[in-house]
Amino acid sequence: MQVILYNSAIKLLTMEQNKQTVRVLEVFNFLLKKEKVEGVDDFCRKCEFNASAFSQIRTKNRNAPLSLQHKIIKAFNVNPDFIFDGLEPMFTGDISSKTKSNVKQIDSDNDVRNCIIVPLKAYGGFLKGYENSVYLDSLERVSCPEIKGTCFRFEVEDFSMFKSANDRDSFVPGDKVTTTPMNGFNELRAGKPYVFITVGGIILKEFVKIEGEYCHLRSYNPEYPVKPIHLKKIKMLLYIDLVTYKR
């Protein structure tokens, strides 16, 4: 997967789009031709994506973020293998059977329970049901007025991100991180910790770099080495907004 970093001082008129972006546009054009969507606004409403951002994708000013790829897969029954590897068929079922993403967004007022608590014992279920509204509704929710929209709170389960007892930037078991979904790999910044939802588990690690088709991460604690993860195995990226320390 090609990752392009934008320099805010340079305005790029066009760019070489990655293969996943080309396939996302193929899906859009097919749906438009078959009159399953009425246009950009209707398409973006059904998959809950910003219309102006999608217009930039259509005019080759940006790539389709990972979040859009997953939303299209869920909203229109698109075959994931088509988006990621170009394998037919384009769809896995009736393309009219789904009209919107199952992940619900709610406003964050003081009396609104917008934060979904994901306890350690629920990590396995979350990996399978994080886009299933029925499953998400089964988890405890609390109010988090500091954050607008839906957020997720996870508990740190090991010492892989521990630096020292006096370092407030380290994490120990029992600490809790409150997170919000990110739009794609281009938002990652080297040297910062994030939560990665992968096919193998939920991990809290420092981002190092993306090289080729692999994402390189690092543990603060050298006793917990991390192998590079293939980009296709990363299902969701989460930004850490708040940390509640146990100690």
Task: Report the percentage of the chain scoring pLDDT > 90.
Answer: 40
Least confident of 75-79, 150-154, 179-183: 75-79
Q: What is the DSSP letter of 47?
A: H
* Mean pLDDT of all residues belonging to the chain: 82
Kindly list the domain boundaries of the chain, sorted by start residue: 1-100, 115-244
Convert the pLDDT of each residue in 206-217 to its tens digit: 999 999 999 999
SS (H, E, C) 151-169: EEEEECCCCCCCCCCCCCC
0.85 surpassed by pTM = no
CB 200, CB 217: distance < 8 Å = no
Q: Residue 108's CB: how many other CB atoms inside 10 A?
A: 18
CATH class of the 115-244 domain in this structure: mainly beta
Convert the pLDDT of each residue in 158-180 to its tens digit: 999 998 777 777 899 999 999 99
Q: How many CA atoms lie within 13 A of 126 on its CB side?
A: 22
> Which is higher by pLDDT, 122 or 44?
44
CB 181, CB 238: distance < 8 Å = yes
Average pLDDT (173-202) is 91
